[in-house]
Structures are given as structure tokens and as C-alpha cells.
Structure 1
Amino acid sequence: MDTFMGYARKDGRVGIRNQIAVIPSVFCAGKVAERIAYQVPGCVYFRHPVGCSQVGEDLEVTAKTLIAIGKNPNFAGVVVVGLGCERFSPYELAEGIAPSEKMLETVVIQEEGDSLAAIQTGSKIAREMQQIASRQTREEFPVSELMVGLNCGGSDMTSGLIANPALGYASDKLVSQGGSSILSEITELIGTEDILARRAVDDEVANSIRGMIHLTEEKLRRQTKGSTNKDRTHLISKGNYDGGLSSVVEKSLGSMKKSGSAPFSGVIQYGHQPDKKGLFLLDSPGHDGEVSTGQVAAGAQIILFPTGRGTPTGFPGIPVIKITGNPKTYIKMKENIDINAGTVLKQEKTIEQAGEEIYQEILEVASGKQVKAEILGHDEQFCVTRLP
């Protein structure tokens, strides 16, 4: 079995980064959280627009997602920052993260007195956590301890033909050794439900796959009914059309190839984590940020991101490996793209060889190699979903 060098966590999981997360419980505390993180190298923050004026399941999704982000093994410690009067209490957030047994402290602005006092307190806590984390060393672990998210954005015709199948090869190799992969973007899998269901480990999982995709299709039908602007009802963007994709069916057939051919072990609801290993289908919208956020909340330490048209985006504390099947895109966006699978289009490599390159990149990144999005400071993909 292949191995990588990671960080052991007290809850038994393994991180591939060793950063301190600064997480606000509500949007009102976002700027204070940002300033705390900026004061201390090795910190990342998670600004979001939610945490108050939400009710029911909408607020529950926010709570579960933020808690799960804090429990992700890439973070050695978490500083929770609250305002003090929000509907999602900072203490509830901290209590939810606590079972991970990582370093954890809470700073509440109204209790500290003002923003400056909260920043000072939070920075001191984060600095102390970072000093402790800096003394931890990497250890060798089997790839069965890895979970990766399979996402994509800015797709063109080379995505479904080259980059996604190559990623599917890498995903299959990881899953065959006991690791885990998460496929999502349900809006971009419409029409593939029966194909995916045939790969389910049992009838229960097969029915869950069909039900999840059918429910998403029904939601889209309701949301677009009566729209006065037909352009607002399209599931694929102008960039997708310009890149050679003709319909959502074509896009879906290409999108599913990210998952390779491994059997589906189960389905995951947004904000939840699987209790076993294997290939999973995560219920989420098609928005790149909401997909990555759901995958990180599920426990993914790495995001694999094919992009035919090219995109610079990254995720705080989670390396996002960019892959393109378009050699022209790689040349234009070389400082943003990690893997040029366009070598297949130029007949320099096979799909399998490109897939092996992606797999080896996963091992290197898991062992500490920084991806280009990390180096450039891109963190745009964090985005907590809100229910319609």
C-alpha cells in the first residue's frame, strides 16, 4: 500500500496541513476573525454571511457545516470567534468541534469589550496554538487515511474527455487501497442517476443515488418555473458553451467520470461525515464553493479540481489541485494549474498515464507539497450553502 507523510490527530484522523482555523459563528464576527488570522502566520479564517436570521433546517445546515469544518483534520487548532447575541452561539460551535480533541478556544466580541480587545485576545490564543502546532512532525501513514473531494469548474469539452477520466483513474487507485473519494455537484449529474446507481454496493445505496438526483431535478424545475428570462434557467454557463459543451446531458456524462469506476459505498447529506471508507455521493448544489465546502465538511483533506477554461480559486487550509485537459489553458494559466492533462490531447500521454500523474501529485501534496492556489493565497471556495 502507498503511503504519505501526515499529522496524527487525537481523534484518530490524519491531517496533511497543520494550520490554525479561525472560524466566526456569525457574519458579524467576520472581520475580527480575519484580523486575528492575519496577525498570526499559519492561520486561516472562514468568513461567511450566515449564523443569524436563519431558522429551522437552514440554520441547522449552517451549524453542522461550520462544526464539521472545524473538525477537519487539516487544522491543529481552532479559534471560534462570536459576537455574543447571534442565533448560532459560538459556544455551540465550539462544543460541536470539541470531540475532535484539537486545541480549541472561544473569543466573544461583546464579552471582550470591542473589536480591538477581541483581536488582541484572539491573536494571543492563535499565536500560542501555532507555537504548539509548529513542534509537531509528520509521520508515515497509509493512503487509506486520505479522503479527497472531486470537484470541477469552468468545464469545456476537454474536461469530460480527458481531465475527468484521468482524475477517475486516480480516484479508483486511491479507493482500491482503502482511501475515500467524494463525488458531488448533483445539478451536474442529472441524467446519470441510473448509470451511477448500477455502481452502488447495494439496492439501498442505489435508491438513495436515484432519489438524490431526482429531488435536485424537481427543485430546479420549481425554481425555474415561470422565469421571464430564459438565460436564467440554463444549467451550463456561457463559458461551457464557448468551450464546446452542447447540453447539460453532455456535461453530466463528463462530470460523472471524475468518480472513475469504483462502487459507491453510500450517500452523504450536506454537513455530515461518512462512518466508513470508499466512494461517496454528496448531496450539494452545483456551485463550486458550496461543493468544496461540503466535501471539506465531510472530512476531505484535498480537493481535486479539473478545469477546462481555467480558474484560480482555492480553499482555506485545504489544498486544491487544479487539473486541465486543455493544453492552451495550461499555457495561459500556468501559474494557477498544477497538472497539465492536455498532454493526452497532444498524444504525449494516455489517460492512464495522466491519471497516474494526478495520483502521484495527491501523495506529494498530502506529504507537504504546496499547490499553486495555496502559494498564491487563493481561498474563495469556502461558501456555506443556504436552503432555498
Structure 2
Amino acid sequence: MCTFITWKGNGEGVTALSLDAVTFWGYRRPDGRVGIRNHVLILPTIVCATQAAKHITELVQGTVSFIHQHGCAQVGVDYEQTFRTYVGMGTNPNVYGVVVLGLGCETHQARSIAGEIAKSGKPVEVVSIQDHGGTLYTVAEGARIAAKMVQDASALHREPFDLRELIVGTECGGSDACSGLSANPAVGVVSDMIVDHGGTSILAETTELIGAEHLLANRAVDDRVAKKVYEVIQAMESRAFKMGVDIRTGNPSPGNIRGGLSSLEEKSLGAANKAGTRPLQELIDYAEAPTKKGLVWMDTPGHDIEQLTGMVAGGAQIVLFTTGRGTPTGSPIAPVIKISTNTAIFNKMGDNIDINAGTIIDGTETIEAVGQRLFDEMVSVCSGKWTKSEILKQHDFGIYRIGPTF
């Protein structure tokens, strides 16, 4: 496992001096990427097909799907982003194969999405409710195809891989006054460890980095990346100003306020700690795959489910999710490790939370010790251990939408 021999502070963060090799057990995909789960995804391209997809998952063990309201009456960049998200979910390395399920007349055509997913080399089939003569015939055909995929997927065996194969998403939701002091800095330690092992760590939630943008710009690898940091922050604030809202100085959600946070800037300074201390390599759009290793910022909203979906569609195989108020949020295809910022919420919502970082607040563990414990848990989950959100089938999904619906 990864072991820190010693640590030193340099005024800008903490640096690990020695790291041992680490491996996890996963599945090599035809496109070269590595999955930590082996799902068959029933992917409904239109809201009208989500119930049929749900019926297929109820019939065929080993399949997953999600309910959503997207897929039609979308144009321009809104259409392109949703299309990219569907394709990204299908090509995520945690997915062995995909049954793309459409209605037939929707904007996001199932065959177009299946064609893009097929470029990854994984098994892909298309089923259409209109072409197959209604829901019952569609469910029967989809279940038949999915059952064969599941059987083929079950024949695969896990192999050992280096951490450079991992893309790890980081997220906070239901934050409180302890978030920036305990769980988020602990995630930051893990982020640094992932980067040091050659992997990729995604920082998201642009709205919740407003007020901390200068800290990240100072860590940009070049002026181009630093400039883009300010551009995405300005664009997010401009959208709020058009609605007559100044979100920089305004209060966050009611739960955040009850948790002790007074403003978005205060929340942002704590949220930015998830990024650790390593250089910022690039900024990418929502549901876009990173092109570089290291620390990457994905431009997402602060909505928990939407940002989670964006990171998974961008290729994240696993997500580290901190919470001070408590949340059951999960993903249909990527395990989500929940980390509590305080011991009280860990004890109260033990059914949902995997790791307690409240020990930092209690004074019984250091940030580095919790980071190491979280890192070890992450490696175990990557090798097959189930998270609580997986056990409870918390299959949340939502796409960040742009502009009007036509």
C-alpha cells in the first residue's frame, strides 16, 4: 500500500517524500482504459424510454440504468452536451456493454449514440420502442440482449493495475463549517497521492469555487490555464447576474447555513481544499474526458447529481464525496465513497456514509492519517469492495442543461 515516510510543509501545502507502489484489481477494456466495475448499462436516450429500461434492469441481474427527463426538444450546445453525457456514460470503463434504448422519434437518436459508444470497442446494441412494437416487446428484446452481455461480462477476471489508470472525481454536498477543516482537506491529501502515482483527480463545482479562484489560478501550469480559471468563474457569475443574483456574497443553501456557513465564498475556500496542493493541469467542459494526467478542473454547476453525472461521463471510475449535513447520493455505474465532516452525522447516517473524517475535528486523528485511511478505502473499493450507495442501489443521474427547451 501507499505509505508516507515523512511530510514537510513548504508554505504552499504538504509534500509527500516517499511513496510505495500501489495496485488495484480491475478490468481492461478494448479502448485501453480500466474499469473497476463490470456493469451492463441499459441506457435510455429519452425520458419516454426510462420506464422500459427500468423493467429490463428488474429482469436481468447485473444490469444498471437511470431515470431522467432528458433526450428531446434540445438544440445547439444543449443538445451537444446531453449527447456527450450519454456517450460518456456508455464509454465509462466501469461499463462492459450497453443496450441503448430509444423511443424512435426523439432528438437524441439511439443509433447515433450507440455508434459513438461502439468506437470504444465494447458491445453495444440498439432497441427502439417504436420499432419493436411497444413496451412489452421492447423489454423482452432488451432483456434478451442484456442477459447475453451479462453472461459474457461475468467471464472476465480482474487484473492488477497501477493507479495511473484511475480518474477520481471529488465532490462535496450538504457542506457545513467542518467541511473545509476535515473531510475536504483529507480528500485533498488523497488527490495529491493519486496525482503523485500518475493518476487523475477531478475538481468540479465551479459555483463552489467562486472566491477561491485566485488560489487555483496561482497553481495553474501555464498562463493559458490560469486565464481560463478566471473565465469560467466569470461566466458562472454572469449567468447568475442575468437572473439578478449576486451569488458570490450571497448565502448558500439552507442546509449550509444551518451547518454554519455564512456565504458562498466561505464555502468555496473550504471546497477548494479537495484539490490538494498539486499543479492545475487543465480545465475541461462538462462531461468531457481529461486529456492530461494530474489535477483537472471540470466546469460543472454545484448541483450534486449534475456534477456527479458530469464527472462520471468524463470517465471517472470512482468519486470521493464529502458531506457535513448528510446525503445518500450515488451513481449507477461509479462507486461513490461518502465521507462525513463530523462524527455526529456519521453516527446519525451510518447507512449512507462510508468514512468518518470527523475524527479530525474530535482531535483523535490528523488530516494526513484520515487521508491515508481514505486512500486505503478507495483502493479497496477499486478492487471490488462495495460502497454503501452501491448496496442501497442509489442510482442518481441528472444532466446540467443549457438554455431553453423547444
Query: Structure 1 length as normaliser, TM-score?
Result: 0.96
Aligned residue for 1:302?
318
Aligned residue for 1:40?
60
Show structure 1 runs of 5+ residues with no match.
none
1:46 deviates by 2.4
SS state at 1:80 partner: strand
1:76 aligns with 2:91: no
1:88 aligns with 2:95: no
1:218 aligns with 2:234: no
1:180 aligns with 2:200: yes
Aligned residue for 1:385?
400
Aligned residue for 2:17?
none
Deviations 1:202-221 (A, max 9, x none): 11111111111111111111
Aligned residue for 2:4?
none
- Percentage of identical aligned residues: 49
Aligned residue for 1:338?
354
The CA distance in 2 between the partners of 1:377 and 1:65, in whole Å, is 21
Deviations 1:42-86 (A, max 9, x none): 111022211111111111111111011110000000000011111
Pick the structure with more helix per residue. 1
Code of the aligned partner of 1:3: T
Aligned ranges 1:161-310 → 2 under 5 Å: 161-225=181-245, 234=250, 236-310=252-326
Report how many aligned residue pairs link the two structures: 382
1:123 aligns with 2:123: no
From the superposition, tell whether residues 55 and 94 of structure 1 become closer, same or farther in structure 2 (CA, over 3 Å).
same
Aligned residue for 2:3?
none
Aligned residue for 2:118?
98
Q: Is the 8 A contact 2:44 2:101 kept in 1?
A: yes
1:235 deviates by 5.3
1:234 deviates by 4.8
The CA distance in 2 between the partners of 1:125 and 1:35, in whole Å, is 14
Q: Is the 8 A contact 1:23 1:47 kept in 2?
A: no
The CA distance in 2 between the partners of 1:323 and 1:224, in whole Å, is 35
Q: Is the 8 A contact 1:16 1:301 kept in 2?
A: yes
The CA distance in 2 between the partners of 1:46 and 1:242, in whole Å, is 31
Query: Structure 2 length as normaliser, TM-score?
Result: 0.92
SS state at 1:249 partner: helix
The CA distance in 1 between the partners of 2:101 and 2:67, in whole Å, is 11
SS state at 1:373 partner: helix
1:371 aligns with 2:391: no
1:276 deviates by 2.2
From 55, 68, 71, give the equivalent of 2:75: 55
Q: Is the 8 A contact 2:287 2:312 kept in 1?
A: no
From 334, 352, 356, give the equivalent of 1:318: 334
